[in-house]
Amino acid sequence: MLSFQGENILSVNQLDRDCIERIFTVAKNMEPYAKKQKCTKVLDGAILANLFFEPSTRTRVSFGTAFNLLGGGVRETTGMQSSALAKGESLYDTARVISAYADAVAMRHPDAGSVAEFSSGCDVPVINGGDGANEHPTQALLDLLTIERELTRFGGNIDGMHIALVGDLRYGRTVHSLSKLLCHYKNVKFSMVAPDGLQMPDSILSAVEDAGHQIKLVNQMQGNLAADIVYQTRIQEERFPSQEEANKYRGGFRISQSIYNTHCKPNSVLMHPLPRDSRIEANELDNDLNANDNLAIFRQVQNGVLIRMALFALTLGVENKVQQYEVDVPWFSRKRDS
C-alpha cells in the first residue's frame, strides 16, 4: 500500500495492517536509542521543519526529539501569528519555501485538510501532526502500539478486545484516527461513550461497522467502562462554535480511582492522548489515578517517540541503516537503566 520512502503520512487511510506491523517493527528497534543505550547518526545533516500552527507540547517536542535521536537537526516555527501565514501567505507558497530548507516536515494546523494541501507544494515527506478535527495519524499509531503492548501484559491482543472511547468523540481527532486504524483488526467491541451532541461522526461509525466490529453508542459512563481499554479524551474546547457551548460539557465525564474501582474491570487500561484537563472543573482523569499501574498515559508518550522515529526512518529510507551509524554514549543517562 504505502512504500514509505519519500512519501507523506497524512492519514491513517494510507495504512493497511502490513504497513502498521512494519512501522511497529521499526519502532521497537528504536528502543535502545530512545533509552540512550546507544546513539545513532543516521540522519546526520538532515533537517526537520517542525511547523506547529496550533498549540502543542508533546507532539511537537516528540517529533523534534525523534529526529534528534536519529542524528538530525530541527528548525521550528510555532503559532500562526509568528509565521508568514499571518501575512496572507498560502500554504502552497510556505511549502515551496520550506522545501528549500528541510528534508522532512512535521506539521499541525487548525484546518482539516490543511496538511494535505501543504504537502501538494512540498518536495519532501510531510507527516501530519494533527489537522483540525480531522486526523492525527501518528497519535493513532502510538495509541495502537500502546494498546498492543498493554494487552500483551495480560495475555490479550487487539483482535477481540473491548475498547471504550470516552468524552468528546465529535471533535477529538485522535479517536477518529484510532477508530479507523482499528478497522484493520477483527471483532473489536466499541463502546462509544459521549454526551449527547458529542458522539462519533457517522462516517467513522460506518467505517467501524463495515469492518465488522460491534458498536454500542451510549451517553453515560456508568455501566459502560468495563472494557479492556478505556480511552478518555479532552473536551476540544477550541473547536466549539463558542466557549459557552464548550462549557456545557466541561467536567461531564471524570474518571477517578473510585470510579475506576466501581465501573472498570480489575485491569482495564486507562489511556488519554494528553493533555488531560486537570482544572478542578474538568479533572477528566483524576490525579489520584497516578499510582494506578494501569494508567498508561505516560507509556503512550514514550511509545510516541518510537513511532515518530520509525516514520522518519522509513520515509527517509534509512530504517535498515540505523545500527550501521551507531556510536557509544559516553554521558550519564538515567533513561538507560529504566
Applying CB under 6 A, the residues found at the interface with ligand NCD are 58-59, 130, 136, 139, 173-174, 234, 236, 273-274
Cell 522515529 belongs to residue: 309
Q: How far is the CB of 114 from ligand NCD (least distance, A)?
A: 14
94 versus 139: smaller Cβ distance to ligand NCD:
139
Alpha-helical regions (H) of 100-136: 114-119
52 versus 156: smaller Cβ distance to ligand NCD:
52
Q: How far is the CB of 62 from ligand NCD (least distance, A)?
A: 9
Task: Determine the distance from the C-alpha atom of residue 20 to the mean position of all C-alpha atoms in its chain, rounded to a whole number.
Answer: 14
Q: How far is the CB of 319 from ligand NCD (least distance, A)?
A: 24
Q: Which residue is nearest to ligand NCD (CB)?
A: 234
Rounded Cα distance, 316 and 48, in Å: 11
Strands (E), 194-292: 214-218, 229-232, 269-271
Q: What's the CA angle centered on 255, arms 253 and 261, to 5 degrees? A: 135
Q: What's the CA angle centered on 68, arms 63 and 74, to 5 degrees? A: 70
Q: How far is the CB of 173 from ligand NCD (least distance, A)?
A: 5
Rounded Cα distance, 92 and 115, in Å: 10
Side chain identity at residue 8, one-letter code: N
Q: How far is the CB of 86 from ligand NCD (least distance, A)?
A: 21
27 versus 43: smaller Cβ distance to ligand NCD:
27
71 versus 130: smaller Cβ distance to ligand NCD:
130
136 versus 213: smaller Cβ distance to ligand NCD:
136
Question: What are the grid coordinates assigned to 184, written together?
Answer: 484493520
